[in-house]
Amino acid sequence: TLVVLQEPEIVAAEAAARIAAEIRAQPDAVLGLATGRTPLTVYARLGAMHRETGLSFRQVTSFNLDEYRGLGPSDPTSFAAYMQRELFGRVDICADRAHLPDGLMPPQQAAERYEAMIRAAGGIGLQLLGIGNNGHIAFNEPGSDFASRTREVTLSEATRNANAPDFPPGALLPETALTMGIGTILEARELLLLAIGARKADALANALDKPPSPDCPASALQLHPRVTVLCDRAAARRLG
């Protein structure tokens, strides 16, 4: 289902409402989470819902999509630190049930361990996704196999440029990351893709209006039976 909403704030409100509904229906829900700019307002809203309405994450398990290789939770530019700042520190989630790939472990071991943890949790229920300007989902860059699993990947120049503002001026960006694979993502029972802003318009059109192809990793979502795409008008403007 494609839902085009007027403003970015409404996209965030709708996404937060859907995640909250999932948790209320199933307090021990297994959520897949994303980082980046797009979900920031979603996480702020979930924090507010926890404070104001008692929405509880106490029994929730979560798995983030990705983490930079070489960065640990104590590095402020790691995704683990981002999640702590933006969501985990604002709600009552148990630290030992809030998972990210381990950027400090040997990559193959970290990847296998992550897949095993997802399996042991019974798989992911609702998976939140953003989309890169180049059509990537998680850090599955163009060319990634639709059957790919959690693994170490080399970040594209486009992705490193897009994410450079998150790092201190002059800092060297990680060259690789650990990411869930497209195959891993497609196993979630439900997918929720958010796209905000004109910069995502081409990627979103490639993802939804063209036949699925590894040239646009997000087009793999067409192969999933339960996908909701929430976007604002700017991101929808190239859709047919």
List, by residue number, the catalytic residues. 66, 134, 136, 141
Measured from the CB atom, the residue of 24 and 37 that comes closer to ligand F6R is 37
Residue with tokens 């996908």, as numbered in its chain: 227
Full DSSP string of 49-82: HHHHH----TT-EEEESEEETT--TTSTTSHHHH
Measured from the CB atom, the residue of 29 and 42 that comes closer to ligand F6R is 42
List of residues contacting ligand F6R (CB under 6 A): 34-38, 65-66, 130-132, 136-139
Q: What is the side-by-side order of every strand in the sheet holding 66-68? A: 66-68, 176-179, 151-154
Residue 186: CB atoms within 10 Å: 20
Query: How far apart are CB 200 and ligand F6R at their closest, in Å?
Result: 7
Q: In the bound complex, which residue of the shown chain has the CB atom lying closest to ligand F6R?
A: 130
Measured from the CB atom, the residue of 107 and 130 that comes closer to ligand F6R is 130
Q: Both tokens of residue 204?
A: 């979103």
Do the Cβ atoms of 189 and 126 come closer than 8 Å? yes
Q: How far apart are CA 183 and CA 94, in angstroms?
A: 27
Strand partners, 179: 66, 151
Query: How far apart are CB 38 and ligand F6R at their closest, in Å?
Result: 3
Query: How far apart are CB 52 and ligand F6R at their closest, in Å?
Result: 25
Where helices occur in the chain by DSSP H, the ranges are 8-25, 40-53, 79-86, 107-120, 157-163, 182-186, 201-209, 233-236
Query: How far apart are CB 198 and ligand F6R at their closest, in Å?
Result: 12
Measured from the CB atom, the residue of 47 and 101 that comes closer to ligand F6R is 101
| 24 contact partners, CB below 8 Å, separation of at least 6 | 55
Measured from the CB atom, the residue of 34 and 124 that comes closer to ligand F6R is 34
Query: How far apart are CB 53 and ligand F6R at their closest, in Å?
Result: 26
Question: Radius of gyration of the chain from Cα atoms?
Answer: 17
